[in-house]
Structure 1
Amino acid sequence: MNMGKLFIILGIMFVVIGVIWSLIGKLPGDITIKRENFTFHFPIMTSIVVSIILSLIFFIIGKFR
Structure 2
Amino acid sequence: MSENFGKIILMAGILLCIVGLLFLFNNKIGGFLGNLPGDYSYKGKGGSFYFPIMTSIILSIILTVVLNLFFWFFRK
Question: Structure 2 regions of 5+ residues with no counterpart?
Answer: none
In the other structure, the counterpart of 1:32 is 41
In the other structure, the counterpart of 1:15 is 17
In the other structure, the counterpart of 1:57 is 66
User: TM (normalized to structure 1)?
Assistant: 0.69
Amino acid across the alignment from 1:19: L
1:61 Cα deviation after fit: 2.4
- Runs of 4 or more above 6 Å deviation: none
Structure number with higher helix proportion: 1
1:62 Cα deviation after fit: 2.5
Count matched residues.
65
User: Which of these two proteins has the greater Rg computed from alpha carbons?
Assistant: 2
Q: Using the aligned pairs only, state the percent identity.
A: 34
Range 53-62 or range 17-26, more displaced: 17-26
CA–CA separation in structure 1 for the residues paired with 2:55 and 2:23: 9
CA–CA separation in structure 1 for the residues paired with 2:57 and 2:5: 28
Amino acid across the alignment from 1:54: L
